[in-house]
Structure 1
């Protein structure tokens, strides 16, 4: 089995996302799997991710981002029993696509720390369904 690990954004998907130019709130689902050890820091992936979050906080605040949920999955009630659960899951709300893009493109944004801490991740843009 050829497993794929994802740490960096897909340029084509980012371009489509950025060009959606919606000024509606943006919700991002983050699923992360930490490295056991980060060679560059000597810390665990979870410790390194905590440092990423600490350094990213000013960027989140400037973007008016809101962490709606940050926690750890515990049980898979629907799905394959042998699926490996993600270490942590975050749901983050931004006011707009442009706020998110400005944040991640800002000088000094610590994306390298996020990449160092993780062995695998998903970042999924979600939109609300229309009410009938």
Structure 2
């Protein structure tokens, strides 16, 4: 069986997230691997993702999202040496679940560009640990 790749949102997980009672700001960890070439755009995956980010920026502003970090992993300090690193990592903070949901459901949100750009990805909702 071949390696499985993930590019699109899992609708069941999205529904659970959307209906959660989580009231704190939402932090999303994005781990992404780009396609070499994107047939739909004629550009590389990285170039297509850059265009996605350009087109998504007004949606981020509308959702009051804050890009906390956007960069590339460089060294695997803990983990298997033969495990390939993700191409880029993006951490985005939203004020609420509804801000995130409204953004991705907003008419014109360029989710198709994101999907076209990537060969594999992870989108993980992270929450701070409770302080004692």
TM-score (norm 1): 0.98
Q: What is the CA-CA distance between 1:9 and the residue it aligns to?
A: 0.6
Partner of 2:9: 9
Name the SS for the 1:122 alignment partner. Answer: strand
Could you say which residue in structure 1 is the equivalent of 2:67?
A: 67
| Structure 1: runs of 5 or more not aligned | none
Aligned length: 132
Q: Quick check: 1:50 aligned with 2:40?
A: no
Matches within 5 A, 1:32-111: 32-111=32-111
* Per-residue Cα deviation, 1:19-63 (whole angstroms, up to 9, x for no partner): 114231000000000000001111000000000000000000000
1:2: Cα distance to partner? 2.1
Deviation (angstroms), 1:5: 0.4
In the other structure, the counterpart of 1:22 is 22
Distance 2:12 2:126 in 1: 17
RMSD across aligned C-alpha pairs, in angstroms? 0.8
Does residue 114 in structure 1 map to residue 114 in structure 2?
yes
SS in 2 for 1:38: coil
